[in-house]
Structure 1
């Protein structure tokens, strides 16, 4: 049988017939060759109440010396392209995955790009029979990294293989960089990873590899919340088994190897409470501090005191938000982060949930309120005469109708979506959280009457509420649904199914803001959690516009302002100051506006119409150029998907302009000022034309039904053959029988394209 022409072969054929054999010939074995490797999940694109995913990033080949040491990326292209066609893509993946060698191939030869500088030449072509062996690339890697035989033993120590939890690319990088840094003698290490990206799993694998390599024999893991320590012990760290213990008594047991502890539990002002001093200063080889950004970052904080005691150990700090103020600096202590994985990158990769913001401006917040002469509050207390504004509300002065309005708006939102969506309402203090709980109960008498746990205050001073924290964060538990809080739930609460975060609290600390937003960023596909909404009543989301929100952490020397250090346990904003309660002042919403997460990682703050116009005009300078592109596209949904990838929110735009309009009309209207036509008007025009006459009676019935589907649901129905399985098509015949009415699949698809042409022939 004649061998097919190489230039006619698909990319897969080029891989299987030429590239894979060439790699194997160079002594790479199956376990070292990973093909079609999924790197990301694809960014979640919110379309009204539904979501889709953007394109996943996939590498054709990742070649690893050992599972934990990827050495090379190989990108394949069809033979009709030059050998270097895949190089830019290979380099993008190599940079993303922290991989030193990038290859591109079309099946004729390889092009190598050396990121290490050890080859002498940055790029060179290599014959198919001269692909470098794993040993050769490993030798070059070690030369580049300065790894002698002793360091290599540490670096090559395997991960713990967990079939249930495969590592994501950024976790591998964080682990590898940390282990490598320690192998080379670095003793102060900082990792910055956004909330929800698996810091604890990363810590487990770091400890596992160092422990198994015999480099670190006794390890202390410190967290600042009991729930965090317990979650860590039973989840990610469970594989340590009997080698692990949690420090919880005054007497320190010294026969274990892995120790977990609250850092408040192992420190204190009284000598007898300082359990850690029962260990000798050189007892631990490694100390890891989880969430090292909090108030604990101060020089005299609990964990800093412990680190000063165990000064000979290696210290690793894990944080989502480095604490940087005039007086507090993690970077000053740990040094620059050896790896940063940000919220923006997590959303872009599809590992974290995007968000939308519903911003409310209330009249009393904008204008302030001044009591009339002799005004007393509801308890008869004379109110000091001055102007009270947003800074005062719920701290010095309570406008009870303001609390009721916030509760009403939250309830309206839940009723319009799902009343059982897990919701956290962040309040100024415990008193405010209690009043908000009461207001929400009164707004939801039916569900609150059915179950007292529908709305609960979960604050540090309330044992009944704290006891329900585990149930709130458990996806399996329906209650509590709405939690009001001030600080207790702002950190360390792994609320995977939280879909609504309400901010009725002034937040000026970037650290606190990042942590609160982090409560919503986890995805849980099993429970339909793909994105979350932030309702903002106190302008807190203005912090999204701050470059520090998703910027690289930098060491700064200046006042941070805002809330200062975070409290723990019961320290949640109780105050003895005079507080006035006013129940006869009306409060109204002045403006309500929804802001969406854009593809650049920033909120779209301009109007949807302006943003759409600007985005479309970047690609199409005129209506003619857009029409040409639209009419030539084999599938219109490809164009719509491209626009959605760029942040054009067609469903939201339809809500604003009109739900009866086709995306084509929305775009032509908003970007090019053409009057839009409804789908129904376009449908009626096509039915009046003679387009149907060239088809048989049953085929005409199919086309007529397709037009009705278009009128009801839009263009994507026409282009999806699965529409033929539903009513009314199932009464005409099976999909195969329907296609035969047109003379076969290709003729059916041609008829659909012709129908689309008729739909869009009518001038917009």
Structure 2
């Protein structure tokens, strides 16, 4: 047997696995092959989402299921023994393990992070380390005591379905268990919305409870829907030992208690139900969405945590709150683990987003009433300039509401009228007016089902009753939900494809929570990405340093015809420019007054509150007859790092491409030397070249080659049709058979219509007019004499397309 002729799979099965099993590793419980750690980032292309392919870890070794110890990366024997090491180290980083093995079947290169004196050494197949050896080294590396081991090695819950935690969930669970077993009594976990915080919490509680380290557990949340979803779904395995606290009664007969903060306390002493049990009754408290009530020192909810001060307390949040007055880390300490939105999108576990920014004339110019003007209710309107901060909060302009509703409706009609949509409004009154406008604009849909549009707010029992239907992927209605506060957090709407922002959002915490309504992925229902339709410039918060990514300046440049002396100051204000040149608060992220996001503010003791139009002590005016129009509606894309592209697409592409091809010659050489041009197109896309936006900006009839040459290197472009015609003029087809000439001529037409990607795809032979010539097999065999000759003909066709003398001087 010539080992060098064996495939990588053969090397694994014939050499690596026998060596591992001979060392005592249990193939059923300790060895897993082809462990897929990432799902593959979703790339948005027009109205399509396509996943990038990702590699799997060849072999992962475990102490016990879901307790990884080592990664083995294999290569075919024609490669050097340590070729897979760097790839293996990447997987090891994700799994947080210190042992990496690379092998080509001759032996192993062993990278051992527990031995800094000799990080890498060569190990023969016969000397592969035993499970006991690696576990002992791992425990020493981690510094585990004997007392910790029974807790740390407690089994995960296994429902028999084969479901396994994702790599970041493993890290979050294991790091939390380790911290608790070491005596840490305040623990913070930061995980982006949609990454399974509740499932993670369940596994943490399950293992601590099964190990009898924690016997009475309280799970706290601030929304009924969060508690009910938790009880019915992730926590269901607790069965009869679990209860939901209702009627302000704590039943000590149960071990697992789920509760609303509001069910345990309130402003009056008789409402403080938590005092029915002793302070040491609970020995573990898990606080969901801990950025909300528990962060503030003077929060009434905080008194629950302080009463059960002796209990271990674990805070879960997607958005840790850090302000001048409120801090999660002051109470819980630094997070033991953080998994960000950016990481989630990069790994393919969270949906990427596309932003459609809509600028309205009165939002940018402002609106001033006529002298003595009365509103629709007969109130005299204060004489001042009203702007984007005021609309739908202190003043309602009917035409603005109508135009926003028309824009939402038009977007859904041209994409998918049944796409689940959440419209975030300023308050309940605004949500009701928006509902009404959307109903009137969608009579055909309302005729099919009158729940096509629903207002879902804290004050509306009928609307709240539809929330479960809205978030259930199997239920088509409601489609559009108008809301203000109720759906900002904790609503697991997996199939939400459109998030509409018509709310003044200045809190980064709230912004992240709202964006999180769209970040869940559901492959079964083709939910791979979502759109943010922004009317209030809220997406400028993407450029803030507290969002994932490096801050970039976002400048609004309205059309010149609306800039005059009267509104120059207001434009400066929108762009964050004050007279002294300092940052302006409106585009910053100061916390909002009142409500959940205020440092010490409390919600009503209900089921999550919204406020109506006049509860803030101010008068809300309502006017009509104002001219409102769209000044601009543009799509904004994000780059390979997850940052919104804030410069022109041409400038952005020029900068991106020149990182890889310093000169035109470099690019042309690479293009011509690469057998399949699609490879370069995909490589540039993965580096951040947004081809759809690029073509939209420059010209849809240009080939990717010409787009790059023209924009990046200032070369005169040729259209695809011009390139195809140049090839036909040369008449180089004559060396081929009649059938081959017909095929190549048809392929040139396909190129002129759709580009080089089309002719490189063998499936093009299945469509008209090529399917009239014969089947793909017949075309390749009879027309060209076989696959190699067909591929050579395609290569020559591309050479002709990109010949130097075919370009304009």
| SS of residue in 2 equivalent to 1:12 | helix
Cα distance, 1:72–1:529 mapped onto 2, change above 3 Å: same
Given candidates 587, 600, 611, the residue that maps to 1:573 is 611
Q: Is the 8 A contact 2:293 2:302 kept in 1?
A: no
| Match runs of 1:13-32 below 5 Å | 13-31=10-28, 32=30
What do the CA deviations read for 1:179-235 (whole angstroms, capped 9, x no partner)?
A: 111111111111000000000110111111111112112211111111111111111
TM superposition shift of 1:402 = 1.4
| SS of residue in 1 equivalent to 2:220 | strand
2:103 is the counterpart of 1:105: yes
What do the CA deviations read for 1:350-387 (whole angstroms, capped 9, x no partner)?
A: 00001111112222222222222222222222111122
Given candidates 561, 577, 580, the residue that maps to 2:591 is 561
In structure 1, the gaps of 5 or more residues are 553-557
Cα distance, 1:346–1:475 mapped onto 2, change above 3 Å: same
Distance 2:206 2:104 in 1: 41
The normalised TM-score by structure 2 is 0.90
2:718 is the counterpart of 1:718: no
What do the CA deviations read for 1:235-294 (whole angstroms, capped 9, x no partner)?
A: 111111122111113333222221111121112233433332222222222111111111
Cα distance, 1:563–1:756 mapped onto 2, change above 3 Å: farther
Q: Is the 8 A contact 1:325 1:559 kept in 2?
A: no
Q: Is the 8 A contact 1:521 1:531 kept in 2?
A: yes
Q: Is the 8 A contact 1:356 1:534 kept in 2?
A: yes
TM superposition shift of 1:88 = 2.4
2:728 is the counterpart of 1:690: no
Distance 2:258 2:88 in 1: 41
Distance 1:640 1:138 in 2: 46
2:631 is the counterpart of 1:590: yes
Given candidates 127, 149, 154, the residue that maps to 1:152 is 149
Aligned-pair Cα RMSD in Å = 2.1
| SS of residue in 2 equivalent to 1:259 | strand
Distance 1:212 1:561 in 2: 41
| SS of residue in 2 equivalent to 1:30 | coil
TM superposition shift of 1:164 = 6.0
Distance 1:469 1:13 in 2: 53
| Match runs of 1:151-300 below 5 Å | 151-162=148-159, 163=161, 165-300=163-298
Cα distance, 1:270–1:498 mapped onto 2, change above 3 Å: same
TM superposition shift of 1:678 = 2.5
2:777 corresponds to: 736
TM superposition shift of 1:570 = 5.7
| SS of residue in 1 equivalent to 2:760 | coil
Distance 1:115 1:303 in 2: 44
2:790 is the counterpart of 1:748: yes
What do the CA deviations read for 1:73-107 (whole angstroms, capped 9, x no partner)?
A: 12223444443333222222222221111222333
1:122 corresponds to: 119
Given candidates 675, 682, 707, the residue that maps to 1:666 is 707
Q: Is the 8 A contact 1:437 1:484 kept in 2?
A: yes
1:67 corresponds to: 65
TM superposition shift of 1:585 = 1.7
361-370 or 457-466: which moved more? 361-370
TM superposition shift of 1:694 = 1.7
1:555 corresponds to: none
| Match runs of 1:328-407 below 5 Å | 328-407=326-405
612-621 or 722-731: which moved more? 722-731
Distance 2:370 2:268 in 1: 53
What do the CA deviations read for 1:33-64 (whole angstroms, capped 9, x no partner)?
A: 22222110111111111122224142222111
Equivalent pairs counted in the alignment come to 755
Distance 1:752 1:327 in 2: 66
Q: Is the 8 A contact 1:461 1:570 kept in 2?
A: no
223-232 or 605-614: which moved more? 605-614
2:442 corresponds to: 444
Cα distance, 1:570–1:44 mapped onto 2, change above 3 Å: closer
2:548 corresponds to: 550
TM superposition shift of 1:734 = 2.5
TM superposition shift of 1:11 = 3.1
Q: Is the 8 A contact 1:295 1:565 kept in 2?
A: no
2:800 corresponds to: 758
TM superposition shift of 1:329 = 1.8
In structure 2, the gaps of 5 or more residues are 551-587, 597-602
TM superposition shift of 1:564 = 5.0
Q: Is the 8 A contact 1:500 1:533 kept in 2?
A: yes
Q: Is the 8 A contact 2:223 2:608 kept in 1?
A: no
Q: Is the 8 A contact 2:549 2:643 kept in 1?
A: no
2:462 corresponds to: 464
Cα distance, 1:39–1:612 mapped onto 2, change above 3 Å: same
Cα distance, 1:440–1:559 mapped onto 2, change above 3 Å: closer
716-725 or 535-544: which moved more? 716-725
Distance 1:260 1:302 in 2: 18
2:748 corresponds to: 707
740-749 or 694-703: which moved more? 694-703
Distance 2:163 2:630 in 1: 46
| SS of residue in 1 equivalent to 2:263 | coil
| SS of residue in 1 equivalent to 2:680 | helix
Cα distance, 1:148–1:571 mapped onto 2, change above 3 Å: closer
Distance 1:559 1:715 in 2: 46
Q: Is the 8 A contact 2:295 2:331 kept in 1?
A: no
2:176 is the counterpart of 1:135: no
TM superposition shift of 1:349 = 0.2
Distance 1:598 1:551 in 2: 11
Distance 1:687 1:12 in 2: 47
Q: Is the 8 A contact 1:264 1:302 kept in 2?
A: no
1:324 corresponds to: 322
2:496 corresponds to: 498
| Match runs of 1:306-325 below 5 Å | 306-325=304-323
| SS of residue in 2 equivalent to 1:753 | helix
2:694 corresponds to: 653
Q: Is the 8 A contact 2:543 2:549 kept in 1?
A: no
